[in-house]
Amino acid sequence: MLLLLVLLAAGCAGWTPSGGLYEDRSKHYSVNLPDGWFMSNSNSDLFLTRNGPELQYIFVQTQPLGKPLIFSKKTLYPGMKSLDMAEYFLENNALDQRMTALKATDLSTGQILGYTGFRMEGTYENSDGLTHGFIYYGFMTDELYYAVSYSAPQRAYFKQYADDFNLFFSSFRIIQD
């Protein structure tokens, strides 16, 4: 689910400089966009990059509860436990052939922004065999599952732009109707 949508966004041509407050009322969230990054104009989910999608990206994706995941076909459901959500993420993305050697190196479960969820750090290899690091937050409200992630090549960019992602996520808010 995560990588497929990232790859779809990577092929899109339109990019706008980002910065300032971004709100998506249809998906019930707001977030401060980092300066110096670019936002895809062609993706229904929020997709940002600084130097190109292959070098680093920040991605916010939502999925209605009850809709099957793209690879595993399992469904997220209201009341899921944090650890179950994390296992679904790993199972689903392990089936994506473009994301091999997926490994979680750090996992914490509990409340994310006041909702049941998890935070995971880890690595995977892309289809070229390059190791990427990732940080992934997954949590759900009564209606939507939120996936907020950052990924970059482990060796060159991951640590360099991780602070941008941490600031981004710290500003993330769910908008109540």
* DSSP-assigned letter for residue 157: T
Q: How far is CA 146 from CA 50, 64, 111, 135, 166, in A?
A: 22, 9, 13, 14, 16
pLDDT, tens digit (0-9, with 9 covering 90-100), for 163-172: 999 999 999 9
Q: State yes or no: pLDDT of 26 exceeds 60.
A: yes
Top-confidence residue, 43 or 104: 104
Q: Which residues pair with 122 in a beta bridge?
A: 104, 134
Q: Going from the N-terminus, what domains does the chain have, and what CATH number goes with each? A: 2-8+21-174 (3.40.1000.10)
What is the model's pTM? 0.89
